[in-house]
């Protein structure tokens, strides 16, 4: 699998070429021969549509089945929203998103400089048998994102949050989510 977890430099996160974009700008890089692309956006709710377009384009180029593409976007939307709302909490920042297409999978990696947060911490299945008014607030989106994809990994690399989503490129595969944090990262 070609997910690399190289420490990101301050000037250019792994998978994104060049320095940071001007405030409010979107920077997209693409190497179709390698099957990789990258995006840098301001950490703002207004950037979430651009992240969704990036994920949908990547999954579409990979030929993901519509249900797999939907699940990948659901997970990506949840992660990006959490970075903006709960990570940066309105403070200025940047979200770096890169992704790639391998022979058997599509991956999308999010990097940010918000305070360290492993989305898997405290994650629990929702208490769907309880009345809505009695359920604890929070956690459902992360649970849905984690269970929507085939693998999810989180690392803190040089002070940066790095979360990676993986979808297999074939239908009929087992739907049990895996924590990919301890998988080898050889290309």
Q: So where are the chain's domains? A: 27-179
Q: What is the pLDDT of residue 105?
A: 95
CB atoms within 10 A of CB 126: 12
Q: What is the phi/psi pair of residue 186, to 5°? A: -65, 145
Three-class DSSP category at 72: helix
| Helices 140-148 + 66-82 axis angle, to 10 | 140
Q: What pLDDT is attached to residue 133?
A: 77
Predicted structure pTM score: 0.71
For the chain, the first-to-last Cα distance in angstroms comes to 6
For domain 27-179, give its CATH number from 3.30.565.10, 3.40.50.10860, 3.60.15.10, 2.40.30.10: 3.30.565.10
Is the CB of residue 38 less than 8 Å from the CB of residue 16?
A: yes
The whole-number pLDDT of residue 157 equals: 96
Alpha-carbon distance of 150 to 91, in angstroms, equals 32
Express each pLDDT in 150-185 by its tens digit: 999 999 999 999 999 999 997 544 443 444 544 444
The phi, psi pair for 132, rounded to 5°, reads: -55, -40
Q: pLDDT tens, position by position, for the chain (187 residues)?
A: 333 323 233 333 333 322 333 334 344 444 544 557 889 999 999 999 999 999 999 999 999 999 999 999 999 999 999 999 999 998 999 999 999 999 999 999 999 999 998 887 766 676 777 787 776 666 677 777 788 899 999 999 999 999 999 999 975 444 434 445 444 444 3
pLDDT of residue 158: 95
CA-based max dimension of the chain: 51
């Amino acid at each position: 699998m070609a997910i690399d977890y190289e420490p990101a430099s301050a000037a250019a996160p792994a998978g994104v070429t060049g320095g940071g974009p001007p405030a409010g700008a979107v920077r997209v890089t693409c190497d179709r021969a390698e099957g990789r692309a990258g995006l840098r956006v301001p950490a703002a709710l207004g950037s979430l549509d651009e992240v969704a377009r990036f994920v949908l384009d990547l999954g579409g180029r990979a030929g993901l089945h519509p249900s797999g593409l939907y699940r990948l976007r659901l997970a990506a939307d949840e992660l990006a929203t959490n970075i903006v709302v709960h990570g940066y909490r309105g403070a200025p920042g940047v979200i770096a998103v890169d992704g790639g297409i391998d022979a058997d999978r599509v991956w999308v990696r999010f990097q940010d400089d918000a305070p360290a947060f492993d989305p898997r911490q405290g994650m629990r299945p929702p208490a769907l048998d309880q009345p809505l008014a009695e359920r604890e607030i929070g956690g459902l989106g992360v649970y849905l994102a984690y269970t929507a994809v085939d693998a999810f990994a989180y690392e803190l690399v040089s002070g940066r949050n790095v979360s990676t989503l993986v979808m297999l490129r074939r239908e009929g595969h087992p739907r049990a989510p895996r924590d990919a944090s301890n998988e080898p990262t050889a290309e």
